[in-house]
């Protein structure tokens, strides 16, 4: 017997809640620290076993990796953050293009309405929450544009610049470490505003841009190219680094950082700065370098 749509949706929501429930009680940071250590053991049998299992279980495409053999990686984390072969990802060079900073999926995309961002159908969170409770910073993006990009475990996990720009500030915001997969997004309220994250603020040709790297369960750490490892932090308190006197400039497509396990990137632009491609919608597969839309130069 086929279930009516309303009953089927209710059953699906119940399943989602039951599967996510354990995340509320497990020691998220302790488990992530264990994973951080385990993925850095430089013991051949250990890291090779992990690499073989992970590649098969998640159907990882090693044909595009710069180093294909497991013996090329000193530990599992080196494999997970593997570099791609030159040329397998082309960077959209059209004037004014905003490129995908990662391989992954479009989780949500659209406009920020009155400081609110769509997390999933029926769920929203606020800019102020996402940006660590900074109302002045949130005001810059209040009626702007956003996209949330999800990286699955099999994806390439380096993060690149969507547009060229100069780094202004990096903010580490402590938080929980819920999984950030579609199921969690449907169930956990304010998911991306509750998880640990790094807010990177850039002055770009499109104006002020925020690229936010959101941590998740088993994300052993997040790195940026100018700072190195930002997490796990020794003290889980909000921290800010300003770079006006120590400029860091990155071109479009340049590597910005990496996730040492999978997670999510959120892009924020100011009002009227970006027009997203009509071809993009939630669930759409993307590759690093492809055009997500075009921006209007701010100067």
Which residues are tagged catalytic?
103, 160, 263
> Which residues are CB-contacts of 248 (< 8 A; sequence separation ≥ 6)?
166, 167, 226
For the chain, give the secondary structure using H, E and C: CCCCHHHHHHHHHHHHHHHHHHHHCCCHHHHHHHHHHHCCCCCHHHHHHHHHHHHHHCCCCHHHECCCCHHHCCCHHHHHCCCECCCCCCCCCCCCEEECCCCEEEEEEEECECCEEEEECCEEEEHHHHCCCCHHHHHHCCCCEEEEEECCCCCCCEEECCCCEEEEEEEEECCECCCCCHHHHHHCCCHHHHECEEEEEEEECCEEEEEEEECCCCCCCEEECCCEEEECCCCCCCEEEECCCCCCEECCCCEEEEECCCCEEEEEECCCCEEECCCCCCCCEECCCCEEEEECCCC
């Amino acid at each position: 017997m086929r279930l009516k749509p309303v009953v089927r949706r209710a059953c699906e929501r119940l399943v989602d809640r039951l599967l996510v429930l354990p995340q509320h009680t497990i020691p998220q940071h302790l488990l992530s620290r264990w994973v951080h250590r385990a993925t850095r053991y430089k013991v051949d049998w250990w890291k090779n076993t992990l690499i073989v299992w992970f590649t098969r279980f998640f159907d990882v495409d090693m044909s595009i990796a710069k180093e294909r053999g497991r013996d090329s990686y000193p530990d599992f984390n080196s494999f997970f953050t593997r570099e791609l072969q030159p040329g397998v990802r082309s960077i959209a060079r059209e004037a004014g293009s905003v490129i995908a900073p990662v391989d992954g999926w479009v989780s949500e995309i659209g406009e920020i309405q009155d400081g609110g961002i769509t997390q999933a159908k029926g769920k929203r969170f606020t800019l102020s929450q996402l940006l660590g409770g900074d109302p002045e910073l949130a005001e810059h993006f209040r009626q702007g544009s956003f996209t949330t990009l999800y990286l699955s475990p099999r994806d390439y996990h380096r993060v690149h610049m969507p547009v060229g720009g100069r780094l202004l500030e990096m903010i580490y915001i402590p938080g929980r470490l819920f999984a950030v997969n579609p199921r969690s997004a449907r169930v956990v309220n304010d998911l991306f505003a509750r998880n640990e994250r790094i807010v990177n603020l850039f002055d770009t040709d499109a104006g002020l841009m925020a690229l936010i790297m959101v941590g998740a369960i088993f994300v052993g750490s997040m790195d940026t190219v100018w700072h190195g490892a930002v997490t796990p932090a020794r003290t889980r308190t909000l921290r800010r680094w300003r770079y006006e006197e120590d400029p860091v400039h990155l071109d479009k497509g340049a590597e910005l950082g990496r996730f040492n396990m999978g997670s999510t990137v959120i892009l924020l632009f100011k009002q009227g700065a970006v027009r997203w491609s009509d071809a993009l919608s939630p669930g759409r597969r993307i590759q690093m370098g492809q055009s997500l839309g075009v921006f209007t130069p701010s100067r």
